[in-house]
Structure formats: structure tokens, C-alpha cells
Amino acid sequence: MSKRPTTRISLAEDGTVLELTAEGRKEPSESKTDWDRVKAMSDKEALRAAESDPDAKPLTVRQLAGACKVPALIDVRAIRLKRHLSQAAFAKRYGFALDAIQDWEQGRRPPNRYARLLLTVIDKEPEAVERALAS
């Protein structure tokens, strides 16, 4: 019995859909979004188009209310200073790499979505994070 190759789909940094073939090559997907066409649509047309696509139904008000809101920008230094911690102590306490803290604070790169999520919780509920991470 031969094993069927699997195809995994991932996104490039620019949002282009990529396919990762069984051989490990990345190839651009055949279908790309025509953003000019999308931008030219009225709100009603966009909603109608989304509702007609079984894979892209718009979220209901109830679903949106329960969605996790992760901030796009976060002031890592302010969060760290609020806890009165050095970069090294902050990194160690919350499981970050020291160089990541330095990069974020110096603007060399932003925290990814998951780091922003954890940083938000550290900012709002630091004791809960510390309890969860205690061994």
C-alpha cells in the first residue's frame, strides 16, 4: 500500500497563500485574491459575497463578542517597568528569551501575536501568569 503525499497550506509574510508539497517545495497558489476588486465592493456586495462562500461565512455578533482581541501594538518596556523588573529578570520570570525582550524594546522587531497575547495577560493579571507558570 503506497502512502499518499500530504499537502500543507501556509501563508507567506506578504499574505500570499503557499502550498508546501510532499517534496518540501513551496509554490504560489493558483488562486490569489484580487484586492482591487474587493476594495471596489460596497459593504453590501462584500457581505453578499462572503455569505455565498461556504468557507468564509462572516462571524455573527455573538461570535465576535467572544473573540479574543490581541492588541496590534504593545509597549513591552512599560509592562516590564510596571513589574519593576530588569530585562533579564522579566525574560526569566515569564519564559521569554532575553534577546527577544531587547529586540522588542529597541524596536528591531515586534512581538508575534502569541507573545502580544501573553504580554497583555502579564500586564492585566501578572499574578495569574506567575501562578500558572510556577512549578
Domain boundaries, the chain: 33-67, 76-133
The confidence score (pLDDT) of residue 24 equals 47
Return d(Cα 12, Cα 18) in angstroms, integer. 6
Q: How confident is the model at residue 51 (pLDDT cuts 50, 70, 90)?
A: confident
The pTM is what?
0.53
Q: Which CATH number fits domain 76-133: 1.10.1240.10, 3.90.1150.10, 3.40.50.1260, 1.10.260.40?
A: 1.10.260.40
- Rounded to an integer, what is the distance from CA 76 to the centroid of its chain? 17
Cβ 42 vs Cβ 34: under 8 Å:
no
Which has more confidence, 84 or 30? 84
Closest CA to 90 of 128, 124, 123: 123
Tens-place pLDDT, residues 90-107: 999 999 999 999 999 999
- Rounded to an integer, what is the distance from CA 71 to the centroid of its chain? 10
Return d(Cα 73, Cα 69) in angstroms, integer. 12
Which has more confidence, 130 or 51? 130
Average pLDDT score over residue span 103-132 = 94
Which has more confidence, 18 or 32? 32
**Grid cell for residue 116:** 502580544
